[in-house]
Structure 1
């Protein structure tokens, strides 16, 4: 297999994101680049210099429409994977993958059918009652931590007791696949209607309560420069980025200017 270097990786990611953008535009699907990708667009007009992925988010109704229709209307080498169309898929969100490539993530459970990808995160409604929202966030946190302990690969830097606990839990829950648990998180996310909620969030993954924002933030979108392309973004990106990163225009210390991912990418 031929190794894919960072510049080629980014070009492949940009091409995937362009296809997503074109498909969403044609089919009236709302989406916004998100997380570090949106931060990169605002602060650097492209990738954060030390970043190596692209993320986007969609209101739950648009996300469901996208996941249900993308593969049947797209005859290229790109395919959307989710826990509902691939029983080996273990995340509660979706990925659009270039199937001509292979990506090996060292920290996550290996999925040999995946390659270079763009993550698609659903934005779900939250309970309108403040106390109910707090209970929801606490429940989500416990379930996400539980999922990480069971289904992530054991890190050699982890404390010995954590390794032992993870092995025990993995054995106990071996009959229940990671795909089963991803669907469990999915069902939790859709409990509250996006359209009927005052507040929404990427709750089943993301930055926990920092993701919480008024639903009105998804009323208006703009096109932002990203490298040599233009992608859709929520117009009020300041509220979103301030929640996630604080003073987001300020660069982090040098020691934190590193990729958070650990993977290798090859052509099949």
Structure 2
């Protein structure tokens, strides 16, 4: 069975972001990044570009042309320091972290841009925290024992997926349900997710699993190993602490931003031959049920 992103991208082509959409979104995201990093630098809080944002910096000197988000990461110690100063973010930005609001359902903190709108197909019926955002990923200590990491990763993965299917059960997406009536593969896929969501919702519930994810993500014992928690991270994406503790800089769009000094190790682990630009058919396609920047709005974009 295909992953949800791949399946939704194939079946909801009417919501695919155009090149113009993506570039305008990148301009907004870059403005957000400038403001966030200004605050971090002001208080000497270390952060690093991560994921596709770091890849864009190294390979393109800025955004990957088809990328639609910004990711930064920081160690738990630096994140705890950021919490003391996050109230100084500009008024047009909104910071939120897991379990701090009864209507926030993500496993990692985000910074949102007010007066914008960005809603994925799967979240079409959720009307809170539906704005353009920057992801913050917290770099945590990782257990030394491979067995410990495997067990921790397994329960993390089950809990994260449990929370995800709870969302589909509690907040079913109207456009997905409508299209499932005429697409058998989508009907089977979404029906299964909602059945599992019903089971998980009655045996624990959404916030129960989100709390487990949050608890398992934090490992306070210093081991000399780091990861950004996920089922994959605990088994494959575990790095020596020096990968994240030694920082350099790289150009990203109009200025230099902090990156891991040993970015090559990090990126090879994530992407393999990361300097090789993938063919068009293998690039991630982005769909947005609702999309609004400034006065430019596409609303519920049934007609593209």
Q: Please indicate the TM-score interval, normalised by the length of the shorter structure.
A: 0.7 to 0.9
Q: 1:225 to 1:55 in 2, by over 3 A?
A: same
Q: Residue 240 in 1 paired to residue 263 in 2?
A: no
Query: Unaligned stretches of 5+ in structure 1?
Result: none
Q: Residue 183 in 1 paired to residue 214 in 2?
A: no
The residue that corresponds to 2:104 in the other structure is 89
Secondary structure of 2:67 counterpart: coil
TM-score by length of 1: 0.86
Q: CA deviation at 1:198?
A: 2.2
Q: CA deviation at 1:179?
A: 4.5
C-alpha distance in 2 between matches for 1:256 and 1:208: 26
Secondary structure of 1:107 counterpart: helix
C-alpha distance in 1 between matches for 2:292 and 2:286: 19
Instruction: Tell me the matched-pair count.
Output: 262
Is the contact between residue 36 and residue 48 of structure 1 (CA under 8 Å) also seen in structure 2? yes
Q: CA deviation at 1:235?
A: 0.7
Task: Kindly report which structure 2 residues correspond to 1:99-114, keeping only aligned pairs within 5 A, or say none.
Answer: 99-108=114-123, 110-114=126-130
C-alpha distance in 1 between matches for 2:82 and 2:241: 20
TM-score by length of 2: 0.77
Is the contact between residue 71 and residue 136 of structure 2 (CA under 8 Å) also seen in structure 1? yes
Q: Residue 170 in 1 paired to residue 197 in 2?
A: yes
Query: Unaligned stretches of 5+ in structure 2?
Result: 1-19, 295-304
Q: CA deviation at 1:68?
A: 5.0
Comparing both structures, which one devotes a greater share of its residues to helix? Answer: 2
Secondary structure of 1:122 counterpart: strand
C-alpha distance in 2 between matches for 1:140 and 1:183: 10
The residue that corresponds to 1:76 in the other structure is 91
Secondary structure of 1:222 counterpart: strand
Secondary structure of 2:91 counterpart: coil
Match of 1:14 among 19, 23, 30: 30
C-alpha distance in 1 between matches for 2:238 and 2:206: 26
Is the contact between residue 149 and residue 235 of structure 2 (CA under 8 Å) also seen in structure 1? no
Q: CA deviation at 1:79?
A: 1.2
Secondary structure of 2:62 counterpart: coil
- Specify the structure having the higher radius of gyration (Cα): 2
Is the contact between residue 52 and residue 259 of structure 1 (CA under 8 Å) also seen in structure 2? no
C-alpha distance in 1 between matches for 2:150 and 2:109: 26
Q: Residue 147 in 1 paired to residue 129 in 2?
A: no
